[in-house]
Structure 1
Amino acid sequence: MALESIGFDVTPVLCRVRWGKAPDDDGPNTTYTHLALKVAMEDGSYLADVGFAGVNSVAPVRLGTRDEQSLPEGLFRIVDGTSPLPGYSVLQLMVKDEWRSVYTWRDDVFAPIVDQECSNWFSCTHPTTRFTNSFFACRVVGDQRHHILNGEYVIRTGHGVDSELENTLIANKDALLELLEGVFNIRLGEDDMEGPLGSIDRYLPKL
């Protein structure tokens, strides 16, 4: 919506997540739970995606080519899918001299709002999804990625094998709220901190 409001031609596409998943050689084993955007430019179309957290590129990935693309977060490429279903493209990232798949989508299928709503509802309500079982936040600052996963705060400087990690356990609820506001610019209300599933500090380690 933000891109469209400033004049870009945007096509939403729903993607099957492949990062950290078992091989799908016998057919898809993940459903369409990630939304990416195809943005049309004068020199071609680009994949715009800032919502995959730890491994996607915050810089746009050029579509319509199978060449490797050196981007701020590493070396990316788009390849034809190996799934037995035809018509898939796969975004891949080079990790330790090995191409790893991030997610896959159908080039001939766009995502109408009704499909987006169904996928979003599943991701936000199903008891087995990471969105209902984990607490996480991510922010890119310069060449650093700051992220929280449950009770751990990680600062990653650089990318790939040359990256440096600084890990800190979050001691308590006050420390979590201080991080969220000071680093991620997130200020939670009382209803957010004490939701129907319990207090927000339920994700923290029992020190």
Structure 2
Amino acid sequence: MTIPIRDTAAVDVAAYLRRIGVDGEVAPDLPTLFRIVERHTRTIPFENLDPLLGRGVCLEPAVLWDKLVRRGRGGYCFEHSGLLHAVLDELGFAVTALLARVRWGRPDGVSAPRTHQVLLVEFAPTSYLVDVGFGGPTPTAPLALVPDRPQATGHEPCRLRRDGEVVTVEVRRGAGWRPAYDVELQPQSRADLEVANHYTATHPASRFTTALLGARAPAGRRIALADLRLAVHHADGRSEQRQLTNVDALRAALEEDLAVTLPADLDLAALFDRLAPT
């Protein structure tokens, strides 16, 4: 069952496709979905400047389009998935919003709130999980809702484990598999998403209000920012890390590595001072 979102007509799909570099014919089919997911994760960065600065996050499709497309910003999961949901709706895909409990970076057995949004795109006979906003390990291809089968993406392979109506997305790291999050296959209404987004964007215990996070997945590598440490992970297993020691380095990381168009009113010096160790 799909639950529609509001005001999808406010999203300029042609401008979105130009933003991510998808040209030619598009249709509500699987090849188009794969092209869009690959290009979206390559070009629109994951970043949490607004929650970190206390500016909140609005999920209205027109606002998401203005921020991530027209103004060249990035966003976090609710923004990426919200924008893509609106675009796919306009293109004629059958899309449902789902919520997930993040396990990445958490000890086994520690329960997490449902603070991550993904999409379910329905095809017959197999539907696909689509996630363009998980940050560092974001799957860069749709994942068929088929358990226990490694699935290739443009980066690391992924696989799904299923236990009833809960699907665990796992990412291949080295010789093993790491759980990223548990998706509950229950359609979420706009109200459900608003509540989860409000907690994630404003609660003092949310990592998005206390740390600077950024990520992008160009071909052959992943770029990740955590406060003042920038890492580049290559497909051949090499990793490079550097500490950002001044405001100019932070600006370069955001604008050049992550491809974020910074807001004109951002006091980057104040942000650097806030993140710098004392």
Q: TM over 0.5: same fold?
A: yes
Is 2:175 the counterpart of 1:97? yes
TM superposition shift of 1:73 = 2.3
RMSD of the alignment, in Å?
A: 2.1
Does the aligned pair in 2 maintain the 1:56–1:73 contact within 8 Å? no
What secondary structure is seen at the aligned counterpart in 1 of 2:262? coil
Question: Which residue pairs with 1:22 in the alignment?
Answer: 107
Question: Which residue pairs with 1:52 in the alignment?
Answer: 134
Question: Which residue pairs with 1:139 in the alignment?
Answer: 216
Query: Residues 23 and 183 of structure 1: is their aligned pair in 2 closer, same or farther, counting only changes over 3 Å?
Result: closer
What secondary structure is seen at the aligned counterpart in 2 of 1:70? coil
Question: Which residue pairs with 2:271 in the alignment?
Answer: 200
Matches within 5 A, 1:144-163: 144-158=221-235, 162-163=236-237
Is 2:91 the counterpart of 1:6? yes
TM superposition shift of 1:72 = 2.7
Q: In the alignment, which of 138, 150, 157 is matched to residue 75 of structure 1?
A: 157
TM superposition shift of 1:204 = 3.3
Does the aligned pair in 1 maintain the 2:101–2:183 contact within 8 Å? yes
User: Higher strand share goes to which structure?
Assistant: 1
TM superposition shift of 1:76 = 1.8
What secondary structure is seen at the aligned counterpart in 2 of 1:192? coil
Amino acid paired to 1:199? A
Alpha-carbon separation, structure 1, partners of 2:205 and 2:224: 22
Amino acid paired to 1:71? T
Does the aligned pair in 1 maintain the 2:127–2:144 contact within 8 Å? yes
TM superposition shift of 1:96 = 3.2
Alpha-carbon separation, structure 1, partners of 2:232 and 2:131: 21
TM superposition shift of 1:143 = 0.9
Q: Compare relative contact order (CA 8 Å, sep 6+) and give the higher one, 1 or 2.
A: 2
Alpha-carbon separation, structure 2, partners of 1:137 and 1:102: 17
Gaps of 5+ in 2: 1-85
| Count of residue pairs the alignment pairs up | 192
Q: In the alignment, which of 114, 117, 137 is matched to residue 194 of structure 2?
A: 117
Q: In the alignment, which of 263, 266, 269 is matched to residue 189 of structure 1?
A: 263
Q: What TM-score does the superposition give when structure 1 sets the normalisation length?
A: 0.83
Identity %: 28
Gaps of 5+ in 1: none
